A and B are shown apart, each in its own frame.
Chain A
Amino acid sequence: MKGKSLMLPILLPLLSIIGVVSWAVGLGVVFIVLNETSLGVNGVIILGLVLIIVVPVIAWLVLSVTDKSKKESS
């Protein structure tokens, strides 16, 4: 039990570090590749703007769908 509680403060940040590094480096590489295409730097700007819009919209949709199903079940 004690080992389990000690694991949590190590495991959670470790998982977070892996998540951050993979997303940031992965997206950085995508930006570099996009910049090399005919779109150039406009491709980077478009992808950035798409992410700004898409990420909150997905969160909002997920919340509204789960809220709706929760109301229906109750």
Chain B
Amino acid sequence: MNSSSVVEQEHLPETTTGIDHRKMLMWAFLGSECMFFGSLITTYLVYEGKSLVGPYPADLFDIPVTSVSTFVLLMSSLMMVLAYNGISNGNVRRFRAWILCTAILGATFLGFQVFEFYEFAHHGLTPRTNLFGTSFFTLTGFHGAHVTVGVIWLLSLFLYSFRGNLAKDHGLNVDMAALYWHFVDVVWIIIFTVVYLIGVAGEL
């Protein structure tokens, strides 16, 4: 055994899977989240086109605006990768700059959601209006809540970087936040495709 593999082995967590228990728990949590969002998306699809009164998706959805908000979230994922790269290389300044960008873009996505919900309510769509309203607000509302939790997590890591040592355990705390953030991003891509794009295309 050469010296580098000895050093590598020293850094490996002593678990049966070879993966740190906290990271394993994060993957298990994300698995449960897949089922959660899977059930919400399925519920939306089951009730799609079954609303007895309007407004309907094609009356409300503004694809260019939602495309920009989707792009904002995609860009935030890129910033997250840069932040993780920074902490992996032990460069805390780089980490701080990019994680703050991730949080700002995440909060910008939420700003788009505030605008969208306001516009929909203004045009008479609330969770009580019809089946579309109920399933739409439940799905996108829960996703928005997940993004909110993610941004709070990212900002907490940013603030914590001034006090603690985030680079320990190969930046595991940042790694877990990144996993969660990418998951939230992927879920939005599915929601955007299934709810918005197919929703509008189906009614044309």
Contact = CB atoms under 8 A, between A and B. Distances in A.
B160 A27 contact: no
Nearest to B83: A59
A25 B105 contact: no
B79 A63 contact: no
Main SS of the interface on chain B? helix
Interface string B57-76: 00000101100110110010
Nearest to B105: A55
B172 to A, nearest CB: 17
Given A27-B107, A48-B68, A59-B100, A35 B115 contact: yes
Contacts of A51: 72, 104-105, 108
A26 B107 CA distance: 10
B101 A16 contact: no
B118 A28 contact: yes
A41 interface: yes
A39 interface: no
Interface of B: 62, 64-65, 68-69, 71-72, 75, 79, 93-94, 97-98, 100-101, 103-105, 107-108, 110-115, 118-119, 148, 151-156, 159-160, 163
